[in-house]
Amino acid sequence: MADTSMQNEENKETIEAPEATAEKAIEVEGSDRSVFGWKAILILILSIALSLYHLYTAGFGLIVSTNQHLFIHLLAGLILIFLIFPRKKGLGQTTIVWYDIVLSGVVLVVGSFVMMNQTHQTILQGNMEISHMIAGIIMILLLLEAARRVVGKPLLIIAIIFIAYYFLGDYIPAPFGHGRANFEQFIYEMMYTSTGILGTPLSVSANYVFIFILFGAILEATGAGKMFIDLALRAVGHFRGGPAKAGVVGSGFMGSISGSSVANAVTTGTFTIPLMKKVGFRPQTSGGIEVASSSSGQLLPPVMGAAAFLMIEYTPYSYAQIMISALIPAVLTYIAIIWMVHIEAVKHNIQGLAKEQLVSGRKSFIQQGYLIVPIIALVYFVIAGNTVFNAAFYAIVMLLTVAILAHRLRARFGAGLLIAGVLAAISYGMHHFFGWHIEISGMIAIGTFICVFFVFFQNKFKMDAAPVKFGFREIMVSLEMASRKALTVIAACATAGILIGIINLTGLSGSLPTIIVGFAGDNLIIVLFFTLIACLIVGLGLPTTATYVILASMIAPALIEMDVPIMAAHLFVLYYGVLADDTPPVNLPAYAVSGIAKSDPIITGVQGFKYDAGALLLPFVFVMNTIILFLPENQGMFAWYEIAWALFAALIGVLAFVTVIQNYMFVKYRWYEFVLALSSALVFVHPAFVSDLIGIALFALLVCIHLLRKKSIDRRKGANGAEVTA
């Protein structure tokens, strides 16, 4: 009876945890303004409506023009920002103040005016009336204020600097000066053309990013985060530092789908950080590991945050090719974090959890393994050639199907089948009479079959707890979460549109690469180093989307001009843009998890940067040796053993550099060992067989030296009667 009671308590925690983490994720992605009554209902309705609108357009296409679609996306986002975010944090507001209601109304009225006048005769002729100009000015100011509230001051400061650069170009000496400032043209280009706010970043946000944020929000609400953590704990939890390693693996899975390092850090950190502290990791170290694991999820296919979709627009590659090229570097990045965690555990003799303390992997998989199938469906539809948003839509249909039916089929099998039959009949009827995609019926049918399959095994193995209940309330929470989480991306992408517009209008996009290349000469390493510094500076305090847009427009062309392949150049700036997200003192994921870890946010941020820096040299490696990116232009150029050697060399280089950061392998490095390890890591940057052999030989020598040193230390400890540590 005691065992059954304990199992029931575990199951109860599994069922209730998703709801709690969903609320915490909303709190992080939202603000400290607590609203009740009809105002809260208004925010809920607007949030749900925005999510349903994007779900419909992803599955069935636009019901308005492209520009109107972008305006709906932008205006709804700005209205929600002013309703949810106060003018500054810490005010403790319990209502929406009158001036924020006014600002929301101004957004609606003025924004609608601008949207409806996109096809005005004077606008089409490239001119503006006074009313158009005034409306454009108001919208730009409202956007900048919204960006300040939801993203923070860094993006606002950068935007003001760019705007000042546009208007003060005559006073700036060559080669950065320009004479193209024109106030009327600025308003026109920013607000009424696809050069500015309505440009590529906002288009990507509206067409790609939102639907994947919705997919991630639904997945989080189903409790998938807890399932991933449980499976990871079962796989690696009993090893040294097992909970931290499990946190890395689980956060990687959720981070790839979530698209938000902050929300992912909170969702998975709720489970992993207490376990890390329990086995002996310091609070700031536990938080730092979670920060690095969650942020690096933006590098991991299939979703890769929002940057993957921006890369579709900035490069000639398909989404499937971007996933293929990003896979190996992302895996190496997570290997680096796990190796870093292992060395930390060895340093402080931190053990893992006893196997009897871990949830059964079979139990976790049978209880909620059906949630993995929609992710597989997403990848399948993308590889099969469907549009990205259609693939996401079909995956969401299957995800909703399995989430809704799994619990009901277990509780009342007949009623669950009846619901599935009704859904399938409705979707097939809509296909027959209104031309709905037949894939919708297929997803419902496959989802039902998957649920029946899992329920059969749940009954066979006599699972006490049913799958997580997912009903109307959870759907509403998911829809609201998606809209709230998207607000940062909407504001960042719209503001990035202003920056990109100024770059193009002033000619900076063409001159800056020439300036950089001219300054560095023909030395690619110097250009890459300057790019690294630029990424860390530009990305300080910015979301990865905004960082990537700026760097892809300004810096990536310089790398391409140095004959770096387009994919390698864009992945290079993306990697350091993600690392900038973890750079103190403005490290939003660290602030989010410091409350869970009960640690100082700045110190937690430093630890997060440290654990992310294990793969610091990796972008240099894949730029210098693109073989590990599996580029289509490299197809057929390399034999299998050349590819295998390049992968092995990159892996050894990453492992060597991690020991440099930790200043430790099996024991602490002596100064000459540190130099050897650093030399070994740096040698791998140069793409040559001989240099790879030298690097591997140096690292092998270090391993031998350290094994002998550790054996000697353990023998002395044993002789003195001290405890011999493994």
pLDDT tens digits, one per residue of 653-672: 999 999 999 999 988 999 98
Mean per-residue pLDDT of the chain: 84
What is the spatial distance between Cα 227 and Cα 346, in angstroms, rounded to a whole number?
A: 27
Highest mean pLDDT of the ranges 202-211, 293-302, 351-360, 424-433? 202-211
Cβ-based neighbour number of residue 126 at 10 Å: 10
* pLDDT at residue 578 is higher than 80: yes
Structural tokens at position 682: 């740096």
* Of 17-31, 53-67, 182-196, 449-463, minimum mean pLDDT range: 17-31
State residue 24's pLDDT score.
Answer: 45
Cβ-based neighbour number of residue 461 at 10 Å: 12
Residue 635 backbone phi and psi in degrees, to 5: -60, 130
Q: What is the mean pLDDT of residues 216-244?
A: 84
State residue 74's pLDDT score.
Answer: 96
147 CB-contact burial (10 Å; exposed 0-12 / middle 13-18 / buried 19+): buried
Q: What is the mean pLDDT of residues 47-57?
A: 95
Structural tokens at position 481: 């979460």
Q: What is the DSSP letter of 359?
A: P
State residue 14's pLDDT score.
Answer: 35
30 CB-contact burial (10 Å; exposed 0-12 / middle 13-18 / buried 19+): buried
Rg of the chain, C-alpha, whole Å: 26
Residue 262 vs residue 702, higher pLDDT: 702
Whether 664 contacts 344, CB under 8 Å: no
State residue 651's pLDDT score.
Answer: 93
Residue 639 vs residue 91, higher pLDDT: 639
* pLDDT at residue 112 is higher than 90: yes
The band of 272, judged by pLDDT with boundaries at 50, 70 and 90, is confident
Structural tokens at position 493: 């992408």
Each residue's pLDDT tens digit, 274-316: 889 988 899 999 999 998 888 888 888 877 766 777 888 888 8
Q: Among 348, 232, 245, which residue's Cα sits nearest to residue 289?
A: 245
What is the spatial distance between Cα 289 and Cα 579, in angstroms, rounded to a whole number?
A: 14
What is the spatial distance between Cα 101 and Cα 41, in angstroms, rounded to a whole number?
A: 14
Q: What is the mean pLDDT of residues 10-21?
A: 39
How far out from the chain centre does Cα 159 lie? 23
Helix axes 361-368, 224-236, angle to 10 degrees: 160
State residue 22's pLDDT score.
Answer: 42
Q: What is the DSSP letter of 369?
A: G
State residue 620's pLDDT score.
Answer: 93
Whether 421 contacts 409, CB under 8 Å: no
CA angle 221, 227, 233 (to 5 degrees): 145
Q: What is the mean pLDDT of residues 243-248?
A: 88
CA angle 677, 699, 324 (to 5 degrees): 95
* Of 81-85, 134-138, 480-484, 519-523, minimum mean pLDDT range: 519-523
What is the spatial distance between Cα 215 and Cα 402, in angstroms, rounded to a whole number?
A: 13
State residue 662's pLDDT score.
Answer: 92
